[in-house]
Structures are given as structure tokens and as C-alpha cells.
A and B are shown apart, each in its own frame.
Chain A
Amino acid sequence: MKGLFCAHCKAKNNEEYREVLKKRLIRVRLIGLAGVLIILSAAVLFHTVLAEMDDYHQGVTYGMGTGLILGSIVAMLRIYRTLASEEKLKEQRLKETDEREVEISNMALRQTAKLLLAVLYLSMVFGALVSEELLNLCCLLIGIFLLSYIGFRKYYENKV
């Protein structure tokens, strides 16, 4: 998943990158906190208003919260480890700022987007034979995908 969730920063040296990581640490903590809140609110809701909810849906909700907490813990540990060593800081900074790395990530994302769209179209065509809900869901997702592409294109046309 290298580069996928990286906010390609423009830090020119280790000191600037250290500041970027400190800000990122705050976001990661907030994500962990969101996980805790999901678990706590789910626990309250599943014991009161949503008491009849089946085990599968309860498991998915708790799993989402746990995933966010574990993900944020792993991300925090990685950031602390990077901050502790100048060598790691440089290595990580280059991974995020190196223009070839950024280009590789962008190319991979473009291909992934095309594949995702193709899979959605195929699911829509064959899904229509099986279930109307699947057809509607695929239509909705393709619509969101294309509309967000048009939206972001317009946004960047004015920015670049």
C-alpha cells in the first residue's frame, strides 16, 4: 500500500519533514479516537436501541472500530520510530517527496481507478441478471466515481 495513503508532502529537509510528521501524528490520533468512539457508541446502541441487531452486523461495527484503533496504533508507532532516527527520517522523506515515487504512485492509482471502473461496469451488467439492488448499487458507485472525477478536474483546472 506504499504511497497510496501518503499525502505527498513538499518537505525540503528533515526538519521540515519532522514538522509534517508531527501534524500527521495529530490526525492519526484523531482516527484512533474515532475508532474508540465507534466502539463505545456501538456498545451503547447495541445494548439499548439496536438490541435486536444480529451478531454479524455487530461484529462488522466493532471490527470497523477495532480496525481504526489498530491502524492508528501501527501508524503512530511508525511515526515515532521515524522521528527517533535521522536516517529513517531521510529515508521516509525521500519516499514521499521523490518525484519518481510520486509519479509511480499516480500511475498505479490511475490504473487502479480504470480497473475499478471496469469491474463495476461488469458487476452492473451481470449483477442486473441476479439482483436489482446490485444493479442500483453499481450504478450509484459508477455515478459517484464519474461525478467526483469531473468535480476534481474542474477544481484542479482552476488551481493549476
Chain B
Amino acid sequence: MHTKIQELRKERRITQNELADAVNVSRQTIISLENGRYNASLVLAHKIAQFFGVTIEDVFIFDEEENL
């Protein structure tokens, strides 16, 4: 799974710390999400999408085999 977190964050000029604070996780978690090393839970994915004002699918790009 890939994410567009970094793109969305840079578009809106938001730092990793600010995003981490807003969704109640550590900065390291944001870094891992951006690098694709960690897959967010549904709740965290929802919070991040809500923070950017977009849908979950706009932030998280699922790989071919992860789709139906």
C-alpha cells in the first residue's frame, strides 16, 4: 500500500509534527506511513483522510492484489 500523505502534507504546508499532533500519533508513525513501512489502521486512515478533507482512497493507494 502506498500513501499520498507526503504530497498532501506538502501541498498544504503541514509538517510531520503538526499532522502527528492532529491525529494523535508520533512523528515516527507519520514517517513510517509516508515511507510505506507501516500500514495504518482503519481508524488512523480515517483520521488522516478527515484531517486533509479527502476520502481514504484519496490518501491510501492500494496495490492490485489488495483490491477485490
Contacts and interface: CB of A to CB of B under 8 A. Distances in A.
A42 interface: no
Given A99-B41, A100-B38, A12 B32 contact: no
Interface string A109-144: 000000000000000000000000000000000000
Interface stretch (A31-39, A45-53, A78-86, A90-98): A90-98
Main secondary structure of the interface of A (DSSP, over half): helix
Size category of the B interface is: 10 to 19
A17 to B, nearest CB: 11
Nearest to A99: B41
Contact of A97 (B24, B28, B41): B24
Contact of A94 (B25, B32, B40, B41): B25
Contacts of B44: 99
Contacts of B41: 99
Nearest to B28: A100
B26 interface: yes
B29 interface: yes
A81 to B, nearest CB: 20
A95 B24 contact: no
A38 to B, nearest CB: 38
A101 B28 CA distance: 9
Nearest to A103: B38
A98 B38 CA distance: 12
Contacts of A94: 24-26
B24 A100 contact: no
B3 to A, nearest CB: 14
B60 to A, nearest CB: 15
Q: Please give me the 10 A-B residue pairs with the lowest Cβ-Cβ distance, nearest first.
A: A100-B29, A98-B26, A94-B26, A98-B25, A100-B38, A99-B41, A98-B29, A99-B44, A100-B32, A12-B24
Given A94-B25, A95-B26, A99-B29, 7 more contacts: A98-B26, A98-B28, A99-B25, A99-B43, A100-B28, A100-B29, A101-B29
